[in-house]
Amino acid sequence: MRSSAPSPRTRDRTRSRSRSARSVRGLSARRAAVVLKSDIEAFERLGYGRREGDSPYSVVLAAPEGGDDLVLHLRPEGRVFGGNLGLELSTAEPVLPATSRGITARGRGVVRMQGVRFRARGGDEAASRLAAELSADRELGKALGDVHFERLAVEPDGRPVIRHMGGSVVWLLVPPMARTTPLPAGQPEAMVRALHEFARAGARGLSA
């Protein structure tokens, strides 16, 4: 009767893959810690103070007097070697009207962005009105034009979120390695200005 137990060679390959996966996860965690520290320091130079967040890669940035508290998060995305970790910055509290499924956005223009087009997720009429008003807000569009964002969204509860191209950990397949992308000079200020414009638009009274 043939044994169903794995052969020694199979067991060795399994152990090797397990050790390799642990090594990759460990490298990713170390790189993430370095990038997160650098990202936090960039906002501390603007007068923000650090408070612990709700995950290892999340912190609350307490605003200087008169500002809005922010949340800085390295959010995983993708599955290659555990996925990339992208910098996301949002307001700590909702500043826009709540919607059923939230709002997404993309920049207009290819060479030079000319405003931002917001779009409601799903067929929510109130969210569509809010998206149209945000798209028509010139000051908001101008502020977002200075941000090197990868993606923009407004969460259903009304918190705007900017996913930035820098300040992140990106995995490359060939050769397999984790590359950190720095947060360029001037971008922390630009992100803060953009979130301030979202808050200003919400305070003005928008549809939802």
Q: How many CA atoms lie within 13 A of 152 on its CB side?
A: 27
Of residues 103, 106, 132, the one with CA closest to residue 206: 132
Q: Which pLDDT value is given to residue 57?
A: 86
- The per-residue pLDDT for 11 is 47
CA separation for the pair 38, 184 (Å, rounded): 11
| Spatial contact of 47 and 64, defined as CB atoms under 8 Å apart | yes
| Three-state secondary-structure class, residue 48 | coil
Q: What is the full DSSP assignment across 121-184? A: STT-HHHHHHHHHHHH-HHHHHHHHTS-EEEEEE-TTS-EEEEESSSEEEEETTTTEEEEE---
pLDDT in tens, the chain (208 residues): 555 556 655 544 444 444 444 555 555 677 778 888 999 999 999 999 998 766 778 999 999 988 899 999 988 865 554 567 889 999 999 999 999 999 999 765 443 456 789 999 987 899 999 999 999 999 999 999 999 998 999 999 999 999 998 876 665 554 555 667 888 999 999 999 999 999 999 998 766 6
d(CA 194, CA 88): 13
The pLDDT of residue 111: 38
Instruction: Give the integer Cα–Cα distance in Å for 31 and 35.
Output: 6
Cα–Cα distance, 76 to 98 (Å, whole number) = 25
What pLDDT score was predicted for residue 95?
97
Q: How many CA atoms lie within 13 A of 127 on its CB side?
A: 21
